A and B are shown apart, each in its own frame.
Chain A
Amino acid sequence: MDALKYLPQILFSVLFLAGIGLFGRNVLKVVRNIRLGKTENRNDNKGERIKTMVLVALGQSKMVTRPLAAVMHIFVYVGFIIINLEMLEIVIDGVFGTHRIFAFMGGFYSFLIATFEVLAFLVILGCAVFLARRNSGAVKRLLSTGDLKGWPSRDANMILVTEILLMCAFLSMNAADALLQQRGEAHYITAGSFPVSQLIQPLFSGLGNDVLIGIERFGWWFHILGILCFMNYLPYSKHWHIIMAFPNTYFSKLTPKGEFTNLESVTKEVKLMLDPSADPFAAADPDAPLPSFGAKDVTDLTWKQLMDAYTCTECGRCTSECPANNTGKLLSPRKIMMDTRDRLTEVGNNIDKHGKDHKDGKTLVNDYITPEELWACTTCNACAQACPVNIDPVSIIIDLRRSLVMEESAAPGSLNAMFSNIENNAAPWQFSQADRLNWAQEN
């Protein structure tokens, strides 16, 4: 009969390890997908990078521009981090069959549990406010139309409801536990302080001990299994940002926002063109891969641009600041990020199913993002500025434009005219370079 006694512990251990294992596999898949991107060095200035991460991810410094969302987000975020301390106790209790193993800390334990309860309440409050904002139509960027039509909206609501349920399970567990403690039920040692759950205790007070134990156990299992499931849901969801925000801000672009990369592949060609001693008839190295210019698909982007895509939580602050989007153009920086992520997921799934060299004939440009969206961008960087996790949509837009222009010669006609003006007379308009100093003679 001993074996039966240990059944919950064995079951718990198996589920816990399976949950962690599955999560590890998912993480590795995301890492693999990000590594499909081109190399880019973001390992300089470690000090400044850590500072940026601490400020922007840990300290949420860019959230504050919208105070209500910032405060509610802090509730949910701090609640999430602190309540996960409770996980440690849950895991130890689950594996060893103990109950409230840290109760020996006495007063400090009571303080911790009380804090968790207050935070749980604040998480419920935050999530409720977020659900209201999202579903009342009050905040344009959160409407379930446009970019967020269908799955993204359901995803967001599912996350919020799950968090509320998890916290409700936690509080019911505590309420039942406290009653059992008062009634002197064996195994339920007196520990903890329950400032929030005591408010729901009256609901349970008419119930027998068996039912209370049932509620307590249900709350416990629901809380831990819920978290294990939720953890594995993360990589398929916008909620993934809770993890990605940290590496993504660490690897932030540290150079001025106005500075765009100089394409090395182009530098080589241009130097060759301008070098009078270069041999124009020299045979190209037959083994060298053909240089490509700009990005057509996700694998042409850098790993950091792909990491950006996985970090996006679809809050839409970028799009709500975008001058093109604000004036009715098709461009939405959020959609650029979502499309990049969705295409990357598709490419990753193709690799899993059909092997590394499979081509599905699709590309990020055209199949996901139309040229009209790309040509609407003013490169003003309002999106990058607004992003709470330092995503840089402009760099993707520019790399996609580069491919349109340099690989496909598909620039809008008026831009082609501007290009030829610069080529012919070194100005974007049709003025002769010889007239550049004429202003000095005018009044």
Chain B
Amino acid sequence: MAASGENPEILFWVGCAGSFDDKAKKVTKAFVKILNSAGISFAVLGTEEGCTGDPAKRSGNEFLFQMQAMQNIQVMNAYGVKKVVAACPHCFNTLKNEYPELGGEYEVLHHTQFLQKLIDEGRLKIQGGAYQGKRITYHDACYLGRGNDEYEAPRSLIEKLDAALVEMPRNRKRGFCCGAGGGQMFKEAEPGNKEVNVERAEEAIAQDPAVIAVGCPFCKTMMADGVKHFEKEDEIKVMDLAELIASAQDL
């Protein structure tokens, strides 16, 4: 797009999970469908995108993080990127908070924030559709919630679907981690008596939801595995908010 002189409204930061992980790719496609139906011009970096460095940084490998950051910043600055939307709270947090000091200053939004904005501006209309009246519980992603104090955008999207939002006892600031952050996604858990995702899935299942809504590809994997652990995967779906919106409207 840049080559043809076009200036897209946003850069959609797909992220590694969104590019490669089967569950997260569904979110990527759902989000793109929403963007297309709302007529939002967007670009992706495609093969020029690289890991933001988040998992390396949280695991203590600051070198690798900054190498990744500098390379991504070079690419984004070369394209004159101004506004970035990430469908992953880890990418979102890193791009928004940790890139500016290294020379990458952009307006960065999580996809739930962007969708909320589109709705507020009247550029996206969603109706309840398939989820009207359904019980949906929302699992806060640490890096969106506590990490960046965004608790309401995802919830307002669920309310826009006319679904019944049911809260887990530990929600918002007290939201219980899915167990994937800080590099845990890529390693075996340290010895303990329970998996974190099993504990959280148990809490979610207790709300008897039709859907556990998430806003993070790692949460999605962890919660889906947790639901499977209790053999509830036929009754309870784990879906990203972008998937919920896209499928509610049958996009």
Contact = CB atoms under 8 A, between A and B. Distances in A.
Are chains A and B native binding partners rather than an unrelated pairing? yes
Interface of A: 65, 255-260, 262-263, 266-267, 269-271, 273-274, 293-294, 321, 323-324, 326-331, 372, 375-382, 384-386, 398, 401-406, 411-412, 414-415, 417-419, 422-423, 426-429, 431, 433-440, 442
Contacts of B60: 294, 398, 401-406, 411
Interface in B144-194: 146-149, 173-177, 179-194
B28 interface: yes
14 contacts: A255-B97, A256-B93, A260-B57, A260-B58, A376-B189, A381-B146, A382-B174, A415-B183, A415-B187, A418-B187, A426-B49, A427-B50, A437-B44, A442-B25
Given A327-B192, A385-B174, A440-B46, 18 more contacts: A65-B174, A258-B142, A259-B93, A259-B147, A293-B63, A321-B174, A323-B177, A326-B196, A328-B193, A378-B179, A379-B181, A380-B177, A380-B182, A381-B147, A402-B61, A418-B187, A423-B64, A428-B16
Interface string B80-114: 00000000010001001110011000000000000
Contacts of A270: 63, 66-67, 70
Nearest to B218: A378
Interface of B: 14, 16, 18-21, 25, 28-29, 32, 44, 46-47, 49-51, 53, 55-64, 66-68, 70-71, 89, 93, 96-98, 101-102, 142-143, 146-149, 173-177, 179-196, 198-200
A268 to B, nearest CB: 10
A426 B65 CA distance: 11
A330 B190 CA distance: 8
- Best-surrounded residue of A258, A378, A405, A411 (most CB of chain B within 10 A): A258
A434 B47 CA distance: 5
Contacts of B176: 323, 326, 382
A427 B192 CA distance: 29
Contacts of A257: 146-148
A436 B64 contact: no
A419 B70 contact: no
Contacts of A418: 55-56, 59, 183, 186-187
A327 B62 contact: no
Contacts of A398: 58, 60
A330 B103 CA distance: 38
Nearest to A405: B60
B44 to A, nearest CB: 7
A436 B13 CA distance: 12
A372 B190 contact: yes
A260 B98 contact: yes
B29 A439 contact: yes
B66 A378 contact: no
B179 A323 contact: yes
A423 B63 CA distance: 11
A426 B193 contact: no
Contact of B195 (A255, A321, A327, A431): A327
Nearest to B58: A379
Given A328-B192, A375-B190, A422 B146 contact: no
B144 to A, nearest CB: 8
A330 B191 contact: yes
A402 B62 contact: yes
